[in-house]
Structure 1
């Protein structure tokens, strides 16, 4: 039964890798989505003694016989390389230039507000305070944070646009003025971020925030454009086929072990 236990353990980990690949494929068209990758590592090995008949050992090896007990997902990480910039010509669509740059959003959970980070720049205007004001929000409705906190504007505007330096230009009648500005954060170690759901990230409790600074967009924001997902469809499909074949192989080893056990039982009877 040792081989069956080994195969069953590995199949459970392969299923997790397949789930990860499926998550990447389902978000291949999500704005600013970053693909997730995972690596396998071996579980503990078991030492098997080489005892022979009547005290005579068979073929000797320096470390004896070692048999593995399966594999597990050793490490999961997020690929932070930039995706393709796609032009949309929509005035509230913004794409970041730097790979270490992120927008800040405010997320309220269980009554507590938390600052999180995202690469998705498809912003919208959400009416608040009896339609007297509008808040700049993400596609999930989370307020976007600017230099002075969440960006809130008076709703009596005729036109709004975002400049390549992050300034938000508002026109009322014949007058135009900058009424807010996006605050772009540069995170030195973006791979240290953990996923928070909804295409957002947060800084883990065990990671210091010293490597995070507010910066001016340089060379500038891509206005009227969005950053596409960095999912490589060809690579993900190849990985999925490899995991499926590995899953089938382990499943067949369980079936073969069951057949061998049946033959042994027949010989005993």
Structure 2
């Protein structure tokens, strides 16, 4: 039955939307996470003829009707509006103050280094070169990029902090000095980014990165703070209930169609 095929197709796409909602809810406490949204679009429509015997129409309707073959998940978007700033007072935590600003991260895959972008500012120090130096890294261990490349410091420090202008201040004994500075990038069209996991983003290969990015010369940051995710729990739970009701309705349609087929088969 056409109704069963239509319902089964739609149920598969509704499950993808439910998976997306579940992903948002699971990351509601992830630093800098951005909500994923999805839109549905109709699949192809087919014309069903209504002609009766000898070409005569059995009812006063047009020659054919157009019936869709279900719905599909059209495309997924990332909502880039800023989340709430939460104070942590941790020296290596820093939050961005503008919507279109991003930290740069160097990710090495298959021996090739690639610059990616993130809004998560929970940074750590990772020992390198036989503990002689430390690198500023993300929670996944990827180096954070500064004005002169990945941020690498000598390990014999007594204290470290990040200032509101992105400067990294290191104290050794009684001496304090700015030994590195974060390079903040502005991306004019953040919707052109694609997600790569780990709360990171990159430009697709067919998008000219140089035309979309620019270095922010006087970026203002929030030291000792983190940007919370922009997941709206109420909205996500409401969307989940709507998708569950739609899934149940399509499932019921298949069940009713099966019952109708059973009744027809019992006719003698």
TM-score for the superposition, normalised by structure 2: 0.97
CA distance in 2, matches of 1:221, 1:86: 13
CA distance in 2, matches of 1:163, 1:216: 15
CA distance in 1, matches of 2:218, 2:56: 75
Distance apart, 1:50 and its partner CA: 2.3
Superimposed CA distance per residue, residues 84-119 of structure 1 (whole angstroms, 9 cap, x where no aligned partner): 000001111000011000000011112111110000
Secondary structure at 1:54 match in 2: helix
Q: Is the contact between residue 117 and residue 202 of structure 1 (CA under 8 Å) also seen in structure 2?
A: yes
Q: Give 1:85-234 correspondences, 5 Å limit.
A: 85-209=85-209, 210-218=211-219, 220-234=220-234
Distance apart, 1:73 and its partner CA: 0.4
Distance apart, 1:207 and its partner CA: 1.2
CA distance in 2, matches of 1:129, 1:75: 45
Q: Quote the residue 2:4 is aligned against.
A: 4
CA distance in 1, matches of 2:221, 2:113: 27
Secondary structure at 2:99 match in 1: coil
**Which ranges of 4 or more aligned residues in structure 1 deviate by more than 6 Å?**
none
Q: Quote the residue 1:247 is aligned against.
A: 247
Superimposed CA distance per residue, residues 24-83 of structure 1 (whole angstroms, 9 cap, x where no aligned partner): 00000000000000000100111011212333223133x731111000001110000000
RMSD: 1.0
Q: Quote the residue 1:46 is aligned against.
A: 46
Q: Give the aligned length.
A: 266
CA distance in 2, matches of 1:117, 1:129: 26
- Gaps in structure 1 of 5+ consecutive residues: none
Q: Is the contact between residue 41 and residue 74 of structure 1 (CA under 8 Å) also seen in structure 2?
A: yes
Distance apart, 1:217 and its partner CA: 4.2
Secondary structure at 1:244 match in 2: helix
